[in-house]
């Protein structure tokens, strides 16, 4: 099984592969996860524009002999539930490609996945400060319900700015996939779509 990853987020385009070694160790044998491909479209824009932007990367995925693709999309501030958003996009994509495309909604953005493992921040005390208040907001299993970007900005020392790419690299290189899954349901769903062992059958509850 060869799986293509499409994303509209620059952060995950750069940093998601840092998690691949951990993820691949729990996937079925011979499963290959391709490097992310960029989709140049707003995640909360018209579905038609998103589908159009997916055409080229999907053609590349087919050329690379991918068996399926997973499209990663931020929920942002959309009121619809992640499942509803994913179903609408998947239905539209089925009209333009024969490749199976699953949609994983980051609830609400990639930073919600990054903040789901606070140990990755604790490992860098010179850069991030993890307070008891932050722990109470994120754990247990609450990372998808917070304004993760604002919280991450507050973990950085006064006078410094949080950088979505650079700090995303810092966090993702230290994050543990199992801890991320424990506190983010949307990340568990992504693992489920990949066929990750612990969440192959369900992703509602953390293991």
DSSP string, the chain: -EEEEEES-HHHHHHGGGGHHHHHTTSPTT-EEPPPEE--S-TTS-HHHHHHHHHHHHHHHHHTT-SEEEEEEE-TT--S-HHHHHHHHHHHHTTT-SSEEEEEEESS-HHHHHTT-HHHHHT-TTTB---HHHHHHHTTTTGGGS-HHHHHHHHBPTT----TTHHHHHHHTT--HHHHHHH-HHHHHHHHHHT-GGGSS--SS--
Q: Right CATH number for 2-109+184-199 from 3.90.350, 3.40.50, 1.10.150, 3.30.60? A: 3.40.50
The predicted-structure confidence for 61-80, as pLDDT tens digits, reads as follows 999 999 999 999 999 999 99
The predicted-structure confidence for 11-49, as pLDDT tens digits, reads as follows 999 999 999 999 999 999 999 999 999 999 999 999 999
Global pTM reads 0.97
Q: Where are the domains of the chain?
A: 2-109+184-199, 112-172
Question: Contact at 8 Å (CB) between 167 and 111?
Answer: no
């Amino acid at each position: 099984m060869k799986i293509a990853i499409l994303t509209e987020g620059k952060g995950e385009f750069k940093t998601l592969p840092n998690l691949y070694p951990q993820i691949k160790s729990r996937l079925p044998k011979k499963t290959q996860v391709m490097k992310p491909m960029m989709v140049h479209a707003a995640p909360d824009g018209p579905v038609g524009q998103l589908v159009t932007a997916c055409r080229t990367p999907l053609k590349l995925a087919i050329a690379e002999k991918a068996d399926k693709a997973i499209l990663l999309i931020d929920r942002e501030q959309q009121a619809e539930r992640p499942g509803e958003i994913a179903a609408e996009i998947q239905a539209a994509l089925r009209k333009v490609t024969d490749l199976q495309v699953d949609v994983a909604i980051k609830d609400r953005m990639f930073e919600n996945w990054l903040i789901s493992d606070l140990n990755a921040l604790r490992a860098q005390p010179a850069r991030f400060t993890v307070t008891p208040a932050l722990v109470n907001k994120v754990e247990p299993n609450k990372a998808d319900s917070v304004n993760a970007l604002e919280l991450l900005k507050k973990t950085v020392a006064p006078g410094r700015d949080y950088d979505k790419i650079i700090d995303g690299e810092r966090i993702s290189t230290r994050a543990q996939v199992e801890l991320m899954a424990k506190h983010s349901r949307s990340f568990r769903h992504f693992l489920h779509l990949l066929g990750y062992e612990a969440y192959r059958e369900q992703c509602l509850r953390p293991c």
